[in-house]
Structure 1
Amino acid sequence: MVNVKAGLSKQYNRLFEIVPPAAIRAVDIKLSAIPDIIRLTIGEPDFAVPMPVKEAVKTAIDNDDSHYAPAKGLLPLRQAISTYVHERFSTPVYDPESEIAVTIGASEAIYDALSALFNRGETILVPTPTFCFYQAEALRLGLNVVEINTAPNYLFTAEMFKQAMADHPEAKGLILNYPGNPTGVTYPEETLKELAQVIDQTDVLVMSDEIYGELTYGRQHKSISAYIPEQTIFISGLSKSHAMTGYRVGFIAGPAALMKMVCLAHSGVVTTAPTPMMDGALAALTVAKDAPAAMRDVYHQRRDLVLAGLAEAGFSAPKPEGAFYIFATIPDFLNQNDEEFVYELGEQAGVGAIPGTVFGDGGQGHIRISYAASTEDLTEAMRRLVAFSQAARAEQKQAQA
């Protein structure tokens, strides 16, 4: 072990002191140490990557396609992205030359946009509960984060936006994530349109993370960029839609003047995305563009399986209309401290979940369950959860007798 020189022990960015480590990963690592636990903690699809994607990557490697690509990504891939997101999500027809960049997953795209388009001390609005990465990255960059609790409906409405701007007229940005992580809630078209109309009356820049756009149940996903393209940065990727989490391919699009700055941040951080992975991404958006449909059907069935199990165990939850998460309220006969409860559930029932608190305001007293696991694991997890809940309820009744 190497000990740092005493005089260098505080040689780091002080902003990192106010940002906790990745909470979801920390909980998952701790729960993973429990023998025989069923981990419903991470948004990791259990499907195999579509075969055309694998073959494209193998071919690229065999052909020694190992050289630098353009910083923004391979042009054929950017062209495919432009076509794909327009057809699937009603985005504008983004110019592949000046309005799209390929990133190392959507995570890098979020960092690029935050670092390139906002200045230290500026305020951004973050509707919660939501994926905690947004707040963490914004804080590391010295931004002021204002969380807006959207519980119990988990929709950020036009009225909420107007109130937020009345309270924080200095706000420069808004981060949207829909279908939402952790809630699975997505926007009815009329609600989205009304929200866009009030945003349009301001100069607030919208960062819209729509990575779960392919995974919606009973409705077609529509991007807010369809209504306010001139003030929207669209972010997505292939980790969820094509089960390509480890391939790390994301993309970001928006007005050329803003994307010029975003691409400066991108090229300065990573230079370019890996060429073989981009070849695989091109196959995903062309040859395998319909692969998400089969996965979506299975997720739909798993969602209903988990909802039924949760209801039997006494939990309540809104029915997710997208993504692969359920955000459930802990019943009053169980420990209401969600951070304590997930470890009780893990140790006593062998089921791993994430505490709602890590997702910001409105998350307290909830757990997030990911149904991006095998049907067999989900079935057993629900059996364990019901048994755990019934035992706790019986113990409580006995104590009250």
Structure 2
Amino acid sequence: MDHILNPLVKSVEISGIRKFYNMVADIEGTISLTIGQPDFPTPLHIKEAAKQAIDENYTVYTHNAGYLELREAAREYVKKKYALSYRAEDEIIVTTGASEAIDIAFRTILLPGTEVILPGPVYPGYEPIIKMCGAVPVYADTTQNNFRMTADVIEPYITEATRCIVLPYPSNPTGVTLTSAELEAIADLLRGKDIMILADEIYSELVYDQEHVSIASFLREQTIVLNGLSKSHSMTGWRIGFLFAPANICQHILKVHQYNVTCASSISQRAALAALTTGFNDALPMKEEYAKRRDYVYNRLQAMQLDVVKPNGAFYFFVKLPKGYTSSLDFCLKLVQQTKVAVVPGEAFSSLGDDYFRISYAYSMETLKEALDRIEDFLR
């Protein structure tokens, strides 16, 4: 019966990150620097809020957009943190992780044949959804611009078919982000055009050398902002994301969300309320530790004479392959086979990433030291 399946779905492959992780998972003694998951436990007060929610029978459907109390907390959070203004009643949706937010946003704004411009290399979670909408992913090469998809990089890729620009900053896999001036220039380029911006800001609380700025500050009417608690509050498994958009757009995204999942988990929503209120600054101690790890890893990579752009957000390094290697998969396979250290081949982040490999430093300093010692021995 394979022939009756949707060819758009059949053409999609499992994420290259997960594919490589699964490939090396059974190699005993392997140190894995592959998955972008915080190694901190979810803060205790958030877990206690979830337990209380169960005891108090918060176990039924919520409003499709989420508890109003939670949406109000999300409104205040982004207002105080990033000077963004959204109405809780009709401009915020609580989603099942930021991944669902990506899906429902694309399914609302894309038509078959329309084009989406993404920075290349980029997180692999966008392209499959774009293709399943019948739309076309267009990769803007950022490798010659320190991985920054600025206005001058975007402009040559804009056509009559362009309907969306994805701005995932801070970036997975590169860790770079954009400045306020760079974002304002993008807003000036796109203002008044029939082009939406999907601003994936899931790493907004993990910015180290500057303040996070959202492009919605400059072009609110054309921007859909995605965020969530997975990275900021170490809540990956709780699956809580947030989508912010003008009411005239949000009302239609809500319909897709409703028929997709009905609502996000009621228990996780109560935990999220604690995260955004009592845990307003929960990310700060984690951010301080990540910054220390970043500096340590950067110094080690520099000492190995590896070509790398110093990241100023998230918890990744995107490292140029050593001389003599032309395939990221070949390099990563040899590395794990000979040293039992797993990193992600850059090809997982589009063909523009094949000259690189990704290291996640969301691991303890002890783990990072041992892994980097092995990589250094390998390069010798």
- Which range, TM-score by smaller chain? over 0.9
Look up the SS of the partner of 1:127 in the other structure. strand
What is residue 21 of structure 1 aligned with on the other side?
14
Choose the corresponding residue for 1:144, options 136, 145, 151.
136
Whole-Å separation in 2 of the counterparts to 1:205 and 1:295: 33
- Rate the CA distance shift 1:361–1:199 in 2: closer, same or farther, 3 A: farther
Choose the corresponding residue for 2:63, options 32, 57, 70.
70
Q: Does 1:182 align with 2:173?
A: yes
Whole-Å separation in 2 of the counterparts to 1:277 and 1:324: 24
Q: Could you tell me which runs of 5 or more consecutive residues in structure 1 were left unpaired when the two chains were aligned.
A: 1-7, 391-401
What is residue 317 of structure 1 aligned with on the other side?
308
Whole-Å separation in 2 of the counterparts to 1:340 and 1:361: 14
Q: Is the 8 A contact 1:129 1:361 kept in 2?
A: yes
Whole-Å separation in 1 of the counterparts to 2:157 and 2:316: 27
After the TM superposition, which segments of 4 or more aligned residues of structure 1 sit over 6 Å from their partners? none
Q: Does 1:112 align with 2:104?
A: yes
What is residue 387 of structure 1 aligned with on the other side?
377
Q: Does 1:287 align with 2:281?
A: no
* Identical amino acids, percent of aligned pairs: 36
Whole-Å separation in 1 of the counterparts to 2:303 and 2:3: 52
Q: Which protein shows a greater Rg?
A: 1
Pairwise CA distance, 1:361 = 4.1
Q: Is the 8 A contact 1:314 1:389 kept in 2?
A: no
Look up the SS of the partner of 1:172 in the other structure. strand
Deviations, residues 118-170 of structure 1 (Å, cap 9, x unaligned): 112211111111101101111122111111111131111111222122xx232
Choose the corresponding residue for 1:206, options 197, 204, 207.
197
What is residue 349 of structure 2 aligned with on the other side?
359
Q: Is the 8 A contact 1:72 1:102 kept in 2?
A: yes
Q: Is the 8 A contact 1:313 1:385 kept in 2?
A: no
Question: Which amino acid letter does the alignment assign opposite residue 371 of structure 2?
Answer: A
Question: Which amino acid letter does the alignment assign opposite residue 81 of structure 1?
Answer: A
Q: Could you tell me which runs of 5 or more consecutive residues in structure 2 were left unpaired when the two chains were aligned.
A: none
What is residue 335 of structure 2 aligned with on the other side?
345
Question: Which stretch of the first structure deviates more once superposed, 209-218 or 141-150?
Answer: 141-150
Question: Which stretch of the first structure deviates more once superposed, 221-230 or 78-87?
Answer: 78-87
Q: Is the 8 A contact 1:124 1:174 kept in 2?
A: yes
Q: Is the 8 A contact 1:127 1:175 kept in 2?
A: yes
Question: Which amino acid letter does the alignment assign opposite residue 185 of structure 1?
Answer: V
Whole-Å separation in 1 of the counterparts to 2:10 and 2:331: 27
What is residue 42 of structure 2 aligned with on the other side?
49
Q: RMSD in angstroms over aligned alpha carbons?
A: 1.1
Look up the SS of the partner of 1:26 in the other structure. helix
What is residue 246 of structure 1 aligned with on the other side?
237
Question: Which stretch of the first structure deviates more once superposed, 281-290 or 150-159?
Answer: 150-159
Whole-Å separation in 2 of the counterparts to 1:341 and 1:78: 46
Q: Does 1:81 align with 2:74?
A: yes
Q: Is the 8 A contact 1:330 1:336 kept in 2?
A: yes
What is residue 368 of structure 1 aligned with on the other side?
358
Q: Is the 8 A contact 2:130 2:136 kept in 1?
A: yes
Whole-Å separation in 2 of the counterparts to 1:366 and 1:210: 23
TM-score, normalised with respect to structure 1: 0.93
Q: Is the 8 A contact 1:89 1:213 kept in 2?
A: no
Question: Which amino acid letter does the alignment assign opposite residue 274 of structure 1?
Answer: S
Pairwise CA distance, 1:230 = 0.2
What is residue 397 of structure 1 aligned with on the other side?
none
What is residue 60 of structure 1 aligned with on the other side?
53
TM-score, normalised with respect to structure 2: 0.98
Question: Which amino acid letter does the alignment assign opposite residue 61 of structure 1?
Answer: I
Q: Paired residues, what number?
A: 379
Q: Is the 8 A contact 2:113 2:161 kept in 1?
A: no
Whole-Å separation in 1 of the counterparts to 2:3 and 2:328: 34
Choose the corresponding residue for 2:259, options 251, 263, 268.
268
Whole-Å separation in 1 of the counterparts to 2:275 and 2:241: 12
Q: Is the 8 A contact 2:140 2:154 kept in 1?
A: no
Whole-Å separation in 2 of the counterparts to 1:215 and 1:75: 27
Deviations, residues 20-65 of structure 1 (Å, cap 9, x unaligned): 1121101011111111111110101000101111010000011121
Pairwise CA distance, 1:189 = 1.3
Which aligned pairs between 1:26-37 and structure 2 lie closer than 5 A? 26-37=19-30
Q: Does 1:233 align with 2:224?
A: yes
Question: Which stretch of the first structure deviates more once superposed, 295-304 or 312-321?
Answer: 312-321
What is residue 155 of structure 2 aligned with on the other side?
162
Question: Which amino acid letter does the alignment assign opposite residue 179 of structure 1?
Answer: P
Look up the SS of the partner of 1:362 in the other structure. helix
Deviations, residues 295-321 of structure 1 (Å, cap 9, x unaligned): 000000111111122223331111100
